[in-house]
Amino acid sequence: MGTGKSTLGRHIASYMERPFLDTDALIEKKEEATITSIFSKHGEPYFRECETRILQSIIHTPPSVVATGGGLIESPKNQVLLQEYGRTYWLYTPINILYDRLKTDTSRPLLKGEKLLPVLKKLYKKRLPIYRSISTMKVDTRNPNDIESLTQLIVGDFNHYDTH
């Protein structure tokens, strides 16, 4: 949430000449609704089920660069899928920088109607251990202008992995 997954993912996909898939965008297309309206109409558990179905369908596509929603990793089933079927990069951004990036963003349902910083801290605390445990590599994304070097870092790791 706010780490640059979609921006960096598109850049990496372009560099690697692979399709870019964003799980949130795929869910919106399949459900013909925005993430916010899905949360509002059906609730978070339904949205999390959508994430799992989308992730399961992505596994059967040609090799791609995939950006997942920040909460997708909370499902143990999704954790297994991510670890079994590809490289998982944790885009790490310190919470104070996430706060600065998200404080005016009204498109994120988990942050609506709440005080942003306490909610961010709660999500951060919940997700951090999972990111640590399932990620192939931690990538520091606090500087969003560093997209070229971040791309090189991830592509370099992927290519090293892919040849071994």
| Tens digit of pLDDT at every position of the chain (164 positions) | 688 899 999 999 999 999 999 999 999 999 999 999 999 999 999 999 999 999 999 998 999 999 998 899 999 999 999 999 989 999 999 999 988 888 877 777 766 656 878 888 998 999 999 999 999 999 999 987 899 999 999 999 998 876 55
What burial letters (b/e) apply to 101-136, b meaning 16+ CB within 10 Å? bbeeeeebbbbeeeebeebbeebbeebeebbeeebb
**And the tokens for 138?**
């931690």
Domain 5-144: CATH class, spelled out: alpha beta
C-alpha–C-alpha distance, residues 21 and 43, integer Å: 23
Beta bridge partners of 21: 66
